[in-house]
Structure 1
Amino acid sequence: MWKLNPRALKYLSEVSRFGSLRKVAAHLNVDVSAISRQLAQLEEELAATVVIRSGQGVVLTQIGEELVALYRQQKASEAAALSRIEALQSLKTGRVSLAVGEGFIADLISAPLQAFMTRYPGIQISVEMAGVNEATRLVKEDRVDLAVVYAPSPDAELYSHVITRQPLELIAPPQHALTRQLPLTIRQISEYPLALIDQQFGMGQLVSLVEELEHIRFEPQLRTNSVAVLKNFVLSGMGVTFMPRLTVQSEVEQGKIICIPVPHPVLTGASAHIVSHKGRELTVSSEALIAHLHDGMLFFN
């Protein structure tokens, strides 16, 4: 019966992430030879190849991928067991890591996160801002516990704990000409100055899908990876863009921006999600945060 070396499995997991022994060595501050030796011993013990070295780097074999999946499952189970101990201590301690799309930040920080941290002062929260592609990758690599994302692509490795429909609408300055052309069509929008967000974001991917389905190509005056830049493009009166209404809720209430529904199924069917890595046990702290965000964030309330 095999007794797998945890250190070798950890190195293998990092190799899967970085694709290079040298990069793993720099990340973990160990010698390349130590990593190579551990992997060689693992292969000798299993009588199987777990990595393939080439001029392009290092890739895992199918057996190597199975070992990484096992290692990550073990780490998740260990964290869950420790979490249950935390539960016995009434959530006095713990850690939760969260990847969040920029459009959710105002909603997250305004009250829900503050209320959670006040209620559970011993739980340490880390928040990393990321587009939907980066956020889901971080979840699947178990580098964060949860992600709050907009319009993620279907993925068998993700589990959505909370889903709410949040249509992608056109946001415009007050008195914009498009407000007098309802109901809107996609081709009408293409005739006016437009800003679009990059396709690493769910909003950008939805617009790209609409372009493909409608056989049209937007030619934005501005393309950016920042929700704040999109907002200011509209606030300055330069043009229009696409966003969920709640992303600009404050500006809407102040009368600085108006939201115009666009009757296209891709846009009206968009949704916000709180996701984790499917099959991974969550800590009690993570489960408590999901419940808190579900109740406290406007996007999910």
Structure 2
Amino acid sequence: MWKLNPRALKYLNEVARFGSLRKVAAHLNVDVSAISRQLAQLEEELGTAVGMRSGQGFVLTQVGEELVALFRQQKASEAAALSRIEALQSLKRGRVSIAVGEGFIADLISAPLQAFMARYPGIQISVEMAGANEATRLVKEDRVDLALVYAPSPDAELYSHVVTRQPLELITPPGHPLTRLAPLSIRQISGYPLALIDQQFGMGQLVSLVEELEHIRFEPQLRTNSVAVLKNFVLSGMGVTFMPGLTVHSEIKQGRIACVPVPHPVLAGASAHIVSHKGRELTVSAEALINHLHDGMLFFN
């Protein structure tokens, strides 16, 4: 019976992540030959190749992919077991990493995260900013425990713990002509200065889908990868953009921004999700954070 070398599996996992032995060696500060030797011994023990060098780097075989999945599952199970031990100590220690879209940040930081950290001072929280595509990739690579994503693409590798409908709406300066149109059509929007976010974000992907379905093409004056830039584009009176109303909740309450519903099924049916890697055991700390965000964040309550 095979006894897999944990070091070899770790190297293989890193190669799957970085795509080449040289990049892994630089990341781990080890010799390329040491990594190559471990992978060769692994292949010799199994009697089959775990990967192949190509022009694109090191490409895993199906066997290699199975071993990487095994390694990640083992690491997740180990973390979950340790977390259950921590749970016996009333969540006095722990660590949770989350990837968060920029549009969630104000809602997350305003009170929910602060309250969680006050309640569980021994739990360390790591927050990484990422668009929808990047956030889901980090989850699937087990580099973060959870992700807060808006309108993610369907993915069999993800599990949604919380889902709430959060329509993508038109955000305008107060008194803008479009605020006086009801119902508002997609084609009417194209007649005004517009800013759009990149398609690496759920918001951008929804707008792109609407363009495809309606056979139109928006010509935005501004494209950006920043929610803050979109918000300031509208606040300065330069034009309009698409955004969930909760992303600019404070500005709407202050009367600095107006929010106009757009009765299109793609935009009206958009939703916010808290996701994890399907099949991976979550730590008690991560489960506690999910429950806390569900109760405390406007996006998920």
- TM-score computed with the length of structure 1 as normaliser: 0.99
- Report what 1:253 is aligned to: 253
Question: How many angstroms does 1:218 deviate by?
Answer: 0.2
**SS across alignment from 1:126:** strand
- Report what 1:191 is aligned to: 191
- Report what 2:46 is aligned to: 46
**One-letter amino acid of the structure 2 residue matched with residue 79 of structure 1:** A
- Report what 2:222 is aligned to: 222
**SS across alignment from 1:116:** helix
1:265-284 correspondence to structure 2 within 5 Å: 265-284=265-284
Distance in 2 (alpha carbons) for counterparts of 1:179 and 1:108: 29
Distance in 1 (alpha carbons) for counterparts of 2:56 and 2:151: 34
Distance in 2 (alpha carbons) for counterparts of 1:200 and 1:182: 31
**One-letter amino acid of the structure 2 residue matched with residue 209 of structure 1:** L
**SS across alignment from 1:299:** coil
1:22-61 correspondence to structure 2 within 5 Å: 22-61=22-61
Distance in 1 (alpha carbons) for counterparts of 2:233 and 2:5: 55
- Say yes or no: does 1:242 pair with 2:226: no
Identity level (%): 89
**One-letter amino acid of the structure 1 residue matched with residue 108 of structure 2:** L
**One-letter amino acid of the structure 2 residue matched with residue 50 of structure 1:** V
- Say yes or no: does 1:7 pair with 2:7: yes
Query: Unaligned 5+ residue runs, structure 2?
Result: none
Question: How many angstroms does 1:182 deviate by?
Answer: 1.4
**SS across alignment from 2:128:** strand
- Say yes or no: does 1:207 pair with 2:215: no
Question: How many angstroms does 1:180 deviate by?
Answer: 1.7
Distance in 2 (alpha carbons) for counterparts of 1:272 and 1:55: 39
- Report what 1:232 is aligned to: 232
Question: How many angstroms does 1:181 deviate by?
Answer: 1.8
Computed over aligned residues only, the root mean square deviation of the Cα atoms, in angstroms, reads 0.5
Question: How many angstroms does 1:219 deviate by?
Answer: 0.2
- Report what 1:114 is aligned to: 114
Aligned residues: 301
Question: How many angstroms does 1:292 deviate by?
Answer: 0.3
**One-letter amino acid of the structure 2 residue matched with residue 255 of structure 1:** G
**One-letter amino acid of the structure 2 residue matched with residue 236 of structure 1:** S
Query: Unaligned 5+ residue runs, structure 1?
Result: none
**SS across alignment from 1:159:** strand
Question: How many angstroms does 1:293 deviate by?
Answer: 0.3
**One-letter amino acid of the structure 1 residue matched with residue 50 of structure 2:** V
